[in-house]
Every structure is written in C-alpha cells, then in structure tokens.
Amino acid sequence: MNPERMSAAEVRAGASLAGVFGLRMLGLFFILPVFAVHAPSLEGGDNLTLVGLALGIYGLAQGILQIPFGMASDRWGRKPVLYWGLIVFAAGSFVGAGATDIWTAIAARALQGAGAISSVAMALAADLTREQHRTKVMAMIGSTIGLMFALSLVGAPLLYRSIGMDGLFILNGVLCLVAMLIVRFQVPDPPVIRAKKTPGGSLRSGLLDAELLRLNAGIFILHIVLYAMFVVVPPILVESGLELAAHWKVYLPVVLVSFVFMVPAILYADRRNRSKNVLVGAVALLACAEALLSMMHAGIGVLAVLMLAFFVAFNVLEALLPSLVSRLAPAESRGVAIGVYNTTQTLGVFFGGLLGGAVAKYYGTTAVFGVCALLVVLWLLLALGMRPLPAVNEASRAAL
C-alpha cells in the first residue's frame, strides 16, 4: 500500500466519525445563532450573564467529564462509551425542549454537556488511522463540523421561526439518536489497545507534558474566543439592520470560503511536516482578526471580511490541534490525553460564554473582541516556543 494514500478503511473511519460529529454538532449549532435572541422570551432571560452561562455551561459539564470518558474508553472500549455519551446528550436535548425559564435551559445545556464523547471519538479516529494521515482525518471531521455550522446558520433562523426553540432541542435529540446508528453500523471496530495499569501516570503525562500543555492552552483560548464572540455577534448583526432570519447571508459565504483557504494549509502541514509554521500563522491571523474587530465601527461588509479571517484561522486550528495531540500521546493512553485536551476545549466553551456575557454587559460589545485579542496574543507567545514535531513514525505506516 502506498503510505502516502489513505486506505479504504481510513477513509471509511474518517467519513463515518465525521458524520457522528456532524450530526451531534449540527444540533448544538442550531442553538448557538438564535439563543441570544430567543433568551429574552424566557423567564430571567434578560440577564446577559445568565444567557452567556446557558451557552457556556455545556462546556463546563464537558470539561468535568472528558477525562473520565477518555479513561473509560481506554479501559472498556471506544464504542460502548460513545453509546452512553450520545444517550446522555439526547436526554439533555429533550429536557431543553420543555424549558420556559433560563435556569431550566441552563440545566438542559449542562445535561447535554454531560454526554462528553469528543475525546472518545477523536481517540477512535486516531486508533483507526496511521499517523501521517491523522491531520487529514481531523480535517475531515473539522470540515464536517464547519459545514454543519454553515448549514445551521442558514437553517437555524428558519427552523426557529417554524418550530421554535423547543423544536430545535427535540431535533438535537433526534440527530443524536441517528448518530448512534452510524456508530453501530458504519464506524469500523477499533483494534484492541489495553490501557497500562498506571492510569495515574497516564493522567499526569496528559496534564504535565510541556508540548501537550501548549496545545491544551491553545484550544482553551480558541473556544473562549468563539463562544464569547457569539454572545455579541448575532445582536450586532441585528442592530446593523440584518434580521435574524437573514444572518446566513453573512455566515454561510464566510464559512464556505474559509474551507477553500483551509485545505492548502492542512496539506502543507501534513506533507511538509510544517505543523508549527502553520499553527503559528493561523494564531497570528486570529489575533489580527480579533484586534481589528475590537476597533470596528463599520458596516456588515467589514464584519464579514474579518469573520472570514477568523474562520480561516479557526478551521485550520480545529483540524491541526487534535492531530498534534494524537501524535504526541502514546497509543495506550491516547484516550486520557485527548480527554485532557477536550476538557480544556470545553472549559473554553464555558468560560467563553460567561466571559462574553459579562464583558458585554459591563463594558460593551467591542470590549469582548479586545479581550479575545489579548488572549490570542498570549497563545501566540506560547506557540512560538513549540518544538517542531519529528518526522512521522515509520511504524505507523503499516497498512490498516
């Protein structure tokens, strides 16, 4: 087998897991563009801090449970743990369908977050692919998530108008149940990799390894920035004269065009082993976008251009970071390492929603972008100290 080409099994693994991620994230993304506008209709929903909490509490629950889910998948297998996580997520979605006040919505989002399967699914993707193709597989997953995000930006306002927020939550649950069928019938079974009987050592390695710490800090900041922005961007568009149902006219072209710019960067990182260069460049682009957004007082066109720069950087980093984690982590503790990574990612979701709501409430919307810019500059300084990764391990070139 040509080691430079993905095998049929790798393509199937990547496509099916991308489908699982996509269906689950589509439901979540249906909530994100409309919740801040819907929230005032809930009892207590006029408090921006609580609105930010409702958006971000999902990440806190995920953050608490990602490591236990990852450790469980190392010990008892990836697929059984995936099923349990998807069931819990679906239950939270159905609870959200009955929410009439902001606190019930917060509780529903927390229960959704308790279905913390991201680390398990990414570990499974790493189990089923060779090292030199992991960035491609993560890019497949990341691109699918980005496509679902774009689809949600078109569909969410229309669906919200026709079925309401309760209908969107029910749709969340149904999509999650469909994802379970994909896991059962489409995702290949992984090789059996037993965890060593030193879970404490594996956990310490995942928490304290210097290079993993840089990557974990990066994904934490990336998701703080994403969720803080979406506390303020939908209201900004409404205030600029673009009604909620028309927000897709900004989001959809921006997200789709960002994929065009993402692909060459990912291929360059994979084929030339220039992951650090691509990562640093993407973080620098992200910092510039946030800094310019913080100074923006222009119209929708300028906002769209800066959002394009944001999503180019975001999509590259979403594909690159988990691939780097999977390459640095030993196979027998991969679930733990990716669990730590996803914990920091989802804690970023929590703190991003909370930070965005609090900063917007007390200092205004442009201050949110300014705080995000400062955080990304801090990440850039950390990324500059990253050691270049060694060439792909030849042992990973064995055919699957």
The whole-angstrom separation of Cα 204 and Cα 336 is 10
Residue 192 lies in a domain: no
Asked whether residue 270 is assigned to any structural domain, the reply reads yes
Domain range enclosing 96:
8-187+199-388
Does 395 fall in a domain? no
State how far the Cα of 342 lies from the Cα of 120, in Å rounded to an integer: 10
Q: What is the rounded CA–CA span in Å between residue 288 and residue 309?
A: 9
Average pLDDT, the chain: 82
Residue 150 is assigned to a structural domain of this protein: yes
The confidence band for 134, taking pLDDT boundaries of 50, 70 and 90, is confident
193 pLDDT higher than 70: no
- What's the token pair of residue 261? 């710019």
Residue 1 lies in a domain: no
Nearest alpha-carbon partner for 237 in 228, 227, 248, 226 = 248
CA triple 31-311-362, angle to 5 deg: 60
H helix runs in 209-299, sequence order: 210-239, 248-271, 275-294
Rounded distance between C-alpha atoms, residue 372 and residue 11, angstroms: 36
> What are the structure tokens assigned to 305, written together?
């251009």
CATH number at residue 171: 1.20.1250.20
What's the pLDDT tens digit per position in 272-298?
A: 668 888 999 999 999 999 999 888 776
Confirm whether 397 is domain-assigned.
no
Q: Is the pLDDT of residue 321 over 70?
A: yes
User: What's residue 201's pLDDT?
Assistant: 46
Asked whether residue 245 is assigned to any structural domain, the reply reads yes
Q: Percent helix, strand and coil across the chain, each rounded to 5?
A: 85, 0, 15
Do the domain assignments include residue 31? Answer: yes
Model confidence at 198, pLDDT cuts 50, 70, 90, reads very low
The larger pLDDT score, comparing residue 390 to residue 152, is at 152
For 351-400, what is each residue's pLDDT tens digit?
888 898 889 888 888 899 999 999 999 999 999 988 776 655 544 444 44
CB contact at 8 A, 125 and 79: no
How many domains is the chain built from? 1
What pLDDT was estimated at residue 360? 87
Of 358, 382, 93, the residue nearest 228 (C-alpha): 358
Please give the structure tokens belonging to residue 2: 């040509």
pLDDT at residue 103 tops 60: yes
pLDDT of 210-261, one tens digit each? 788 889 999 999 999 998 988 888 888 888 888 877 777 888 888 888 888 8
Mean pLDDT of 338-350: 79
